[in-house]
Structure 1
Amino acid sequence: MAGRYRLLEVVGRGSTAEVHRAHDRVLDREVAVKLPHSGDMDESELRRSDAEMKLLARLSHPGLVTLLDAGTERTATGVPRVFLVMELITGADLRTRLKAGDELGASDVAEIGQDLCEALAYIHGKGVVHRDIKPANVLLLGAGGESARAHAKLTDFGIAWVSDSDLTLQDAVSGTPAYLSPEQVRGQTIGAASDVYSLGLVLLQCLTGELAFPGPPLESAVRRLTQPAPIPEELDPLWRNLLAGMTAMDPEARPSAADAAAALYRMAALGALVEPLSELAAAEEELRLEEVRAYAAPAEPGSPFDRVTRLTSRILGAPMAAVSIVDAERIWFLSAHGIDADEVAREPGLCASAVLQDDVWVVPDAAADSRTAGNALVRGALGVRFYASVPLKTPGGANIGTLCILDRAPRTLSPAETETLRELGGVVMDLLVLRRTALEATAAGFADQLDGEPLAGVPSAG
């Protein structure tokens, strides 16, 4: 095809097209080539494929399948046929995964949902509504490494709607019956909220293994005009609240894709904290908490930690700085400058995520980053936009907290500032080690006195 693509086996098939694995002979790489079914290429299908080609050429996002090339050739019978060359995703689609009965944990579903919501937020910002969110249009990428998570990509924009554009195909069937939003069922004008509803049904199916509205297409469609999606009581309350919002019958009551992405990120991160740990991970966390308890005595006002925190704020030009200790359920500030709080809950996002890093961690715009947007310091009155921190690593190798700087305006760190933050974090850890040594020596002295053997130079109680 096109003098360069050698078609291999079929890797995907839908009602109007099939996707082949192919070899690009020019660049010596594997790609995916999407072709309409032979003999089905009428004028409507030609326009649909051409519209998808033009639309994909305008979009670029990690959560979308990338268009590499496109063109038109004629079949053996002389019928023109558009072909789309895309990146080859080697993982299965979500429909195949669900049909095989492969178990998806709640954290896996949250991570997949986050990727898809971020992709939807991107296309919605471009004035595009996908209109056909379903498991078959979700491709899963298995990442290497034991700790790496799978990622998801959204594909098939053949019936997408584009605002103020001639790319939208008014004659295209708008969606797949099992995942239609109520407004699609009614044949009304749809918007971004319709995609959010459909994705809510997909995520609900991932968690339960069942279609939310099973049965014949007409019966299934009519039920969602009068009934909310059935969300099992046994699901976690966070999931129940999110899915109820995403599948609200009123489009205005649904969260945006960006808001849903932030919620899913928080749930994925929180799941990593509360789901049962392996024996090794549980042992490592217990050792970390033992180190936290060893170093986490409160600091008096005016302590060296306060001076280092003020110095960090001044040198790096940040209005807020803090030395945080990350405990099992809370993050408390050993020292804080510009922050009127002694402690916060251990929410995923800022310090709770930074303590898991090996080195300096920078978030240029926390409000726009799905990893941090839901954190209370970001969404609350403090309005944090910029965050940078370095973990406080004990001599035993445990991260017990962070030295961090925060700002209400987006920014970043230069290489020199990054090194400065790293050095200041080392100073804080040195102070913590010195303080622990002094406290242990004092405790030992009291113990000796109680045994009737005071330390040399220390007068006896008598």
Structure 2
Amino acid sequence: MRAYGSHDGAPCDGAGEEDAVTAEVPPLRRPRGAARALGFRRRSADPAVQAADVRASEPLAPATTAPIVLAGRYELRRVLGSGGEANVYAAHDGLLGREVAVKVFHSRVAPPDAGSLERVEARVSASLNHYALTTLLDAGIDEGPEGRQLYLVMEYVPGEALNERLRRGPMTPADACWLGFDIAEGLDHMHQVGFLHRDVKPSNILISGLRSARPVVAKLTDFGIAARVGEPDLSEFTTGTAAYLSPEQVEGLDAEPASDVYSLGLVMIEAITGRVVFPGSVTRSAFARLDRDPEIPEGIPPRLADLLRRMTARRPADRVGLYDLAVELQQILVDMLLELRPGGAAPAAEPPVVDGPPQQASAAFDAALRLLLGASGATAAIALLGDPAAGQTVAARAGAATASPEGLPVLRAARSGAVLVEDAWQDRDLRAHPLVLGGGVRAVAAVPLQNADRTVAGSLVLLDRAPRAWDDAARAALEDTAALLVADLGLRRAVRRALSLDD
């Protein structure tokens, strides 16, 4: 599925230059005994051939001047992109008064009364909810003068596809890292929900044209060939685009989460160099990665070069995971920010803080604690900063708590790992604390806010008014929230370090 937009009125090619249909080369047997023939489901690599095929099969825009309105609601206004399977239109939602993108499938490809691949696409899209993934708003079958038409309604993203952006020249390494961070976050969400994308490429990445404090804001789109994680691919042909397939896909093996990581690595290298990593014909491009690793761009930070190598390792087991990838990209971006400041690279020692304490809470703390409460079902969540032995301060809290947890004996024990107390009344050290005596707290769970260098920045505490056994889900929510808070603290400390170099 694509969601499209253009801030300057230029159309976004709905099928991109490297999109695929069944490859227009004789099917080739895969090496190493692979069972499936090398074919690609989506479209020809030649944009002229593809455009001619589409023009010959269906018009790109309505033949009459009267607007086409789907479901009595979506007025199609202009073509944003087209391909062998569907046309994508900029449209106006008359009911809610907003701009949307509507993907209308050709009836010969997706008969509205058949259980087609596009319906699977709609189900995949409806399962996803992430800022870096385009959002499905509606789906249906229109009974209009053009006959029965299957359509999907997506968010409209003002901007352009990455392949269009790269026609103006390559990105800086920092911009490529911003892009990689967004897409890594989106893919990680997809994988956690249970789906593989399998077609990560420049034409399926949208660069938002809306003004932002960040130089690049990216969204992943087109879930038409997404598949469930771990589900075997029983089709005869490989799905995906030759230039961005992982080695295991080329060999005829099933895609896995690491396959999406490999494809993203190729996209990031292309963004930095402005050149496709494995160019050439479908066959030449696909098999090239079995013989050689991608060439890493020269002149980029060594840490980024190493990360790109780990993203594009030939063995899936050697590739970096998406969570670690996102964290490392954040750290690389901070390093780049410091190097751009007067005075050069960041000093080895922590410089004096400009103003305020070195660690303080942010709005992110409050949001994270509210999410933690919802996930754990506890009464209150409290984040503290500082050393339990030398004193701590409450940085943020959510839920009802009549007293502060400073001085709780469990906080010192929690410096080395999670501490879970099912009933504080049965704990000799806890039952005299004001939270338990006067606040009615019965259950306590605490984990450290531990920095990457193993130092402890504080504690994260869950409180409940009823005795409870802390199950795996509650513990996981607590530990995940602690990791988010530590990441937020680290980023803001790094920004303060960068700002201090201006003094």
- Per the TM superposition, whether the score is higher than 0.5 is yes
**CA distance in structure 1 between the partners assigned to 2:306 and 2:188 by the alignment:** 20
Q: Secondary structure at the match of 2:140?
A: strand
Amino acid at match of 1:91: G
Q: Does 1:262 align with 2:327?
A: yes
Bigger relative CO (Cα 8 Å, ≥ 6 apart) = 2
**1:259 Cα shift?**
1.2
> Counterparts of 1:11 and 1:264 in 2: how far apart (Å)?
32
Q: Report SS of the residue matched to 1:11.
A: strand
Give the share of equivalent positions with the same residue, in percent: 36
User: What amino acid does structure 1 have at the position aligned with 2:391?
Assistant: R
Deviation at 1:107, TM superposition (A): 1.7
Could you say what the CA RMSD is over the residues aligned between the two structures, in angstroms? 4.2
Structure 2: segments with no counterpart, 5+ residues: 1-69, 345-350, 359-385, 395-402, 417-445, 462-477, 483-503
Per-residue deviation, residues 206-243 of structure 1 (Å, max 9, x unmatched):
11111111111111111101111111332221111111
Residue 29 (structure 1) aligns with: 98
Indicate if the aligned counterparts of 2:242 and 2:282 stay in contact, CA closer than 8 A: yes
**2:451, 2:407 → 1: CA distance?**
16
1:347-376 deviation digits (Å, cap 9, x = unpaired): xxxxxxxxxxxxxxxxxx999xxxx9xxxx
Matched, 1:213 2:278: yes
Alpha-carbon deviations, 1:110-138, whole Å to 9, x = none? 11111110111111112211000001111
Q: Is 2:290 the counterpart of 1:225? A: yes
1:107 equivalent among 166, 174, 177: 174
The answer to whether the Cα contact below 8 Å between 1:108 and 1:268 also exists between their aligned partners in 2 is no
The aligned residue for residue 16 of structure 2 is none
Name the counterpart of 2:158: 90
Say whether residues 1:50 and 2:139 are aligned partners: no
> Do 1:386 and 1:409's aligned partners in 2 also have CA atoms closer than 8 Å?
no
Q: CA–CA distance in 1 between the matches of 2:174 and 2:114?
A: 39
The structure that has the greater radius of gyration is 1
Change (3 A) 1:138 1:319: farther
- 1 CA distance for matches of 2:447 and 2:135? 27
Alignment of 1:23-172 (within 5 A): 23-37=92-106, 39-41=108-110, 47-73=116-142, 78=147, 80-101=148-169, 103-144=170-211, 147-163=213-229, 170=235
- In structure 2, the residue matched to 1:317 is 406
Structure 2 counterpart of 1:24, which letter?
Answer: D
For the residue of structure 1 that corresponds to 2:80, the secondary structure is: strand
Distance 1:164 1:74, change over 3 A: farther
1:439-458 aligned within 5 A = none
CA distance in 2, matches of 1:291, 1:43: 62
CA contact (8 A) 1:378 1:384 kept: yes
Structure 1 residue 41 displacement after superposition: 3.5
Letter in 1 for 2:307: L
Tell me, yes or no, if structure 1 residue 201 matches structure 2 residue 283. no
Q: Structure 2 CA distance, aligned partners of 1:104 and 1:174?
A: 28
Q: Quote how far apart the aligned CAs of 1:178 are.
A: 0.8
Render the CA deviation track for 1:380-436: whole Å, top value 9, x for unaligned: 444768589xxxxxxxxxxxxxxxxxxx96778xxxxxxxxxxxxxxxxxxxxxxxx
Question: Tell me, which stretches of 5 or more residues in structure 1 are unaligned?
Answer: 283-288, 297-304, 321-337, 341-364, 389-407, 413-462
1:135-184 Cα distance to aligned partner (Å, 9 max, x none): 11111123425x34431111100001114779x88467511111011111
Using the alignment, how far apart are the partners of 2:237 and 2:311 within structure 1? 25
- Under a length normalisation based on structure 1, what TM-score does the superposition of the two structures give? 0.61
Secondary structure of the residue that 2:255 maps to in structure 1?
coil
State the Cα deviation string for residues 247-276 of structure 1 (Å, max 9, x = none).
000001001111111111111222111125
The amino acid that maps onto 2:89 is H
SS at match of 1:92: strand
Task: Work out whether residues 74 and 93 of structure 2, in 8 Å CA contact, stay in contact via their aligned partners in 1.
Answer: yes
Shift, 1:108, TM fit = 1.5
Give the whole-Å Cα distance in 2 for the aligned partners of 1:156 and 1:131: 10
C-alpha deviation, 1:204, in angstroms: 0.5
Of residues 25-34 and 310-319 in structure 1, the stretch that sits farther from structure 2 once superposed is 310-319
Check whether the contact 1:30–1:88 (CA below 8 A) recurs between aligned residues. Answer: yes
The size of the alignment, in residue pairs, is: 326
- Partner SS for 2:299: coil
* Paired AA for residue 406 in structure 2: G
Q: Distance in 1 between matches of 2:93 and 2:129?
A: 21
Return the letter of the residue paired with 2:217.
Answer: H
* 1:384/1:409 contact within 8 Å kept: no
Tell me the SS of whatever aligns to 1:248: coil
Q: Distance in 1 between matches of 2:280 and 2:102?
A: 33
Change (3 A) 1:108 1:319: farther
TM-score under structure 2 normalisation?
A: 0.56
